[in-house]
């Protein structure tokens, strides 16, 4: 009686990434009302600079009050029907903001920008525009767990992993890229392109220029698309600096080549400004057909006129945006240093990172064995015993067990210290237990060896007596 779509499990809601959220919602931490509850470390949300945004709104009440600076009401204008192209004032300010994040090394054209209800909608819309059901996109692993939903669920597009490993910091290599392409061909899939997150979710690292060049060369050779999800582009708080795919294309003088129209950027205000609830995303493409089709599709997920107006006013305040970006990066850097230092004191290392709202944590030393079953066992203990909702690497399709993503910007500094104290106590207990087990095993082996030596000596004495 119902469609195959809603009766299938292809949404990915049963992933441990989402199951951890369910556990948190049932037993959420609160420093006073529920101090033993689960702390949310699985949500990549930026709550560190809300005070800056709120102070700007307090000083500019006309922006949220839907009034001009003269006091004249805009309510009627904004409340009535708006077409899906969006407000030109907002789009013009948004492309300027995007350029500023990239050090004004590249300029963006508002006519090539499509507004969407968040990056989730932007990525799905691009899949509808670029691929047919059964076609494939290559994604480096580990990747954001939500892509299994965003890219596949309604579009029918397949994901083929580009296998990256810890041996080189999970960097994309030409061998891994070619292997993924051949794997797709073996499965009878037509590869339409590559999708990357830059900076990376869940790694918290920016792509190197060599990696970007590798992707561009691949797109030229295979006549494929590149989708660069750059929603964390404004969170790069340490060196090396962020290099956008748009900048790389410009530096290689490819703006008049065929590949220019096959490069597409996804962006959102959810991470850089910490406002996911406003659902402001966008697609930027040099392909006129893609822009036209995506604009029509955006009618299924529009950004409200009121939201567009408010942010157009905020972005128009260049002094504020410059102050916000500088202070936000300062706070992110400090918070990242706190979590890395706290984990280090617990004997836990992190992948070296320079961006985003999380760290990629190496807890292979806490596994009972080198297996994904052991990773899930550890993850369950961390969620239900320690009271921390973290994302296991397997939910990100990581090829190696023992890696976890931990978010640090969605909570107060005091709560982060509580989380680190819990994890340190757990890790110390677990490591001590493993050492005792190893000592016990070693002692048992020593005793067995001693008995064997004594038995051998006794047998030798008997043989000597027989002679």
Catalytic residues: 144, 229, 231, 271
Cβ(236)–Cβ(329) under 8 Å? yes
Alpha helices, DSSP H, located in 131-276: 147, 174-186, 209-222, 245-251
Instruction: Report the alpha-carbon distance of residue 214 to residue 197 in Å, rounded.
Output: 15
Task: Report CA-CA distances (Å) from 291 to 115, 226, 296.
Answer: 10, 15, 9
Cβ-proximal residues to 37 (8 Å cutoff; 6+ apart), any chain: 27, 28, 29, 30, 387
Give the start-end residues of each E strand in 230-300: 263-268, 281-285
Q: Which residues of 448-463 are buried (b: 16+ CB within 10 A; e: fewer)?
A: eeeeeeeeeeeeeeee
Instruction: Report the alpha-carbon distance of residue 40 to residue 260 in Å, rounded.
Output: 41
Instruction: Report the alpha-carbon distance of residue 43 to residue 378 in Å, rounded.
Output: 19
Task: Report CA-CA distances (Å) from 120 to 20, 42, 280, 346, 461.
Answer: 20, 17, 10, 36, 79
Give the start-end residues of each E strand in 142-237: 158-163, 191-197, 225-229
SS3 211: helix
């Amino acid at each position: 009686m119902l469609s195959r779509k809603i009766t299938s499990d292809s949404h990915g809601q049963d992933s441990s990434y989402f199951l951890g959220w369910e556990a948190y919602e049932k037993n959420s931490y609160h420093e006073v009302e529920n101090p033993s509850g689960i702390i949310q470390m699985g949500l990549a949300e930026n709550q560190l600079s809300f005070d800056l945004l709120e102070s700007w709104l307090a000083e500019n009440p006309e922006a949220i009050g839907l009034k001009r600076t003269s006091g004249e009401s805009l309510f009627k204008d904004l409340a009535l029907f708006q077409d899906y192209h969006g407000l030109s004032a907002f789009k013009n300010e948004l492309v300027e903001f995007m350029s500023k994040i990239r050090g004004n090394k590249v300029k963006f054209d508002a006519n090539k920008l499509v507004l969407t209800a968040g990056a989730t909608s932007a990525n799905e819309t691009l899949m509808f525009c670029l691929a047919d059901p059964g076609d494939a996109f290559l994604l480096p692993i580990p990747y954001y767990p939500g892509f299994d939903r965003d890219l596949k669920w309604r579009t029918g597009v397949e994901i083929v992993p580009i296998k990256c490993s810890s041996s080189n910091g999970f960097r994309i290599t030409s061998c891994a890229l070619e292997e993924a392409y051949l794997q797709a061909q073996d499965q009878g899939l037509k590869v339409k392109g590559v999708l990357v997150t830059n900076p990376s979710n869940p790694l918290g690292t920016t792509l190197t220029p060599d990696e970007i060049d590798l992707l561009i060369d691949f797109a030229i050779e295979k006549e494929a698309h590149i989708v660069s999800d750059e929603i964390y582009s404004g969170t790069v708080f340490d060196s090396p600096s962020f290099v956008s795919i748009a900048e790389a294309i410009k530096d290689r003088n490819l703006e008049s080549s065929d590949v220019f129209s096959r490069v597409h950027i996804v962006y959102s205000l959810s991470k850089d400004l910490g406002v996911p609830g406003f659902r402001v995303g966008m697609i930027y493409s040099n392909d006129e057909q893609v822009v036209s089709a995506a604009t029509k599709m955006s009618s299924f997920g529009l950004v409200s006129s009121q939201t567009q107006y408010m942010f157009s006013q905020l972005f128009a305040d260049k002094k504020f945006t410059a102050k916000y970006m500088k202070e936000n990066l300062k706070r992110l850097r400090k918070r990242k240093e706190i979590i890395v230092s706290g984990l280090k004191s617990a004997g836990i290392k992190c992948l070296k990172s320079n961006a985003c709202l999380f760290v990629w944590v190496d807890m292979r030393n806490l596994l009972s064995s080198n297996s994904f079953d052991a990773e899930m066992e550890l993850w369950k203990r961390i969620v239900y015993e320690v009271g921390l909702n973290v994302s296991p690497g397997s939910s990100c399709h990581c090829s190696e067990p023992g890696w976890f993503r931990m978010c640090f910007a969605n909570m107060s500094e005091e709560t982060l210290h509580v989380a680190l104290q819990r994890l340190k106590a757990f890790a110390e207990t677990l490591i001590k237990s493993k050492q005792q087990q190893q000592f016990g095993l070693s002692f048992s082996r020593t005793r067995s060896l001693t008995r064997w030596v004594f038995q051998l000596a006794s047998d030798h004495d008997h043989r000597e007596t027989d002679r």
